[in-house]
């Protein structure tokens, strides 16, 4: 069965540890789609099994199911994508069309998702973003809900300069790829930062919804997710900066 065509498709364009689940959950409560990370390659098999889609079912059948489950009753679809997931989605969509190389990326998206808008969510402090990612990988604590026990049992990861450095430059690449693609695409994204969400969640969400041209809510749903940065984050940041200066240039400003 073909999913109803969305009247608006919102792509939350982001990178790991940018507050994207916080934003996605807030938008879901306001019927701005039902955003999830549907295009995670490592979860596609699980999704297919959960949805009753055979492993060999065409990729467009999978996309059709995503359109159904990611769409709110008001016809707004939303999905959260990191750069590498987005690039893979474009490649797989292009492979399903004869002469697909002749279609622009935006044209390709519009064939399947209709009227597409981007919400570009970026974290300005890339070092602490990399530290947050390294901590989540080590502890398996990807989010924190107020009043719930930490999945990682409160484990504090050991300092690992190489891991943080690797993730830092990986995040820089993701940001560059998003910025370059947005410039080529001609789309005008709604831009919001992790820092704005952390500073004033309600105002940031209000601005995103208004910029999408959707009804502005009188009340923003209180977030369940709480900020995970703490004194350990700052200790790791200082250790990284000290390592950088000792290895490269004691007078340089460490990233």
Q: Which pLDDT score, from 0 to 100, does residue 151 have? A: 45
- The β-bridge partners of 78 are 10
Listing DSSP states for 36-62 in one string gives --TT-GGGHHHHHHHHT--TTS-HHHH
* SS3 assignment, position 96: coil
* SS3 assignment, position 129: helix
Q: How far apart are CA 125 and CA 130, in angstroms?
A: 9
pLDDT-derived band at 48 (thresholds 50, 70, 90) equals very high
Between CA 202 and CA 205, with CA 203 as vertex, the angle to 5 degrees is 65
Q: What's the distance, CA 12 to chain centroid?
A: 6
* Number of neighbouring beta carbons within 10 Å of residue 92: 15
Sign of CA dihedral 140, 227, 219, 80: negative
pLDDT greater than 70 at residue 1: no
Q: How far apart are CA 129 and CA 18, in angstroms?
A: 7
Counting every residue written for the chain, the total comes to 255
Q: How far apart are CA 144 and CA 97, in angstroms?
A: 42
Full set of structural domains in the chain with CATH:
8-247 (3.40.50.300)
* Number of neighbouring beta carbons within 10 Å of residue 158: 8
Task: Classify residue 71 by its DSSP letter.
Answer: B
- H or E stretch covering 77: strand 76-82
In order of 40, 109, 174, the CA distances from 59 in angstroms are 13, 14, 25
Q: Is the pTM of this model over 0.85?
A: yes
- Compute the mean pLDDT over every residue in the chain, rounded to the nearest whole number: 88
Q: pLDDT tens across 59-96, in order?
A: 999 999 999 999 999 999 999 999 999 999 999 999 99
Q: Which pLDDT score, from 0 to 100, does residue 139 have? A: 79
Q: How far apart are CA 213 and CA 191, in angstroms?
A: 14
């Amino acid at each position: 069965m073909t999913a109803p065509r969305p009247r608006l498709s919102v792509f939350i364009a982001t990178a790991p540890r940018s507050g994207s689940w916080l934003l996605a959950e807030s938008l879901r409560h306001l019927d701005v789609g039902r955003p999830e990370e549907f295009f995670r390659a490592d979860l596609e098999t699980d999704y297919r099994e959960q949805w009753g889609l055979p492993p060999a079912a065409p990729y467009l059948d999978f996309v059709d199911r995503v359109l159904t489950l990611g769409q709110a009753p008001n016809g707004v679809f939303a999905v959260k994508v990191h750069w590498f997931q987005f690039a893979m989605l474009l490649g797989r969509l292009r492979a399903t069309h004869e002469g697909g190389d002749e279609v622009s990326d935006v044209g390709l998206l519009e064939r399947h998702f209709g009227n597409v808008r981007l919400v570009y969510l970026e974290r300005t402090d890339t070092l602490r973003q990399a530290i947050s990612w390294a901590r989540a990988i080590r502890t398996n604590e990807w989010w924190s809900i107020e009043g719930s026990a930490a999945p990682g049992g409160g484990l504090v990861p050991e300092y690992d300069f190489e891991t943080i450095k690797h993730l830092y430059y990986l995040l820089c690449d993701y940001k560059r790829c998003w910025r370059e693609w947005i410039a080529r695409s001609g789309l005008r994204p709604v831009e919001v930062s992790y820092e704005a969400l952390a500073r004033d969640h309600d105002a940031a969400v209000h601005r995103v919804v208004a910029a999408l041209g959707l009804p502005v809510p009188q009340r923003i749903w209180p977030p369940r997710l709480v900020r995970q940065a703490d004194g350990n984050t700052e200790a790791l940041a200082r250790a990284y900066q000290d390592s950088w200066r000792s290895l490269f240039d004691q007078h340089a400003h460490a990233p």
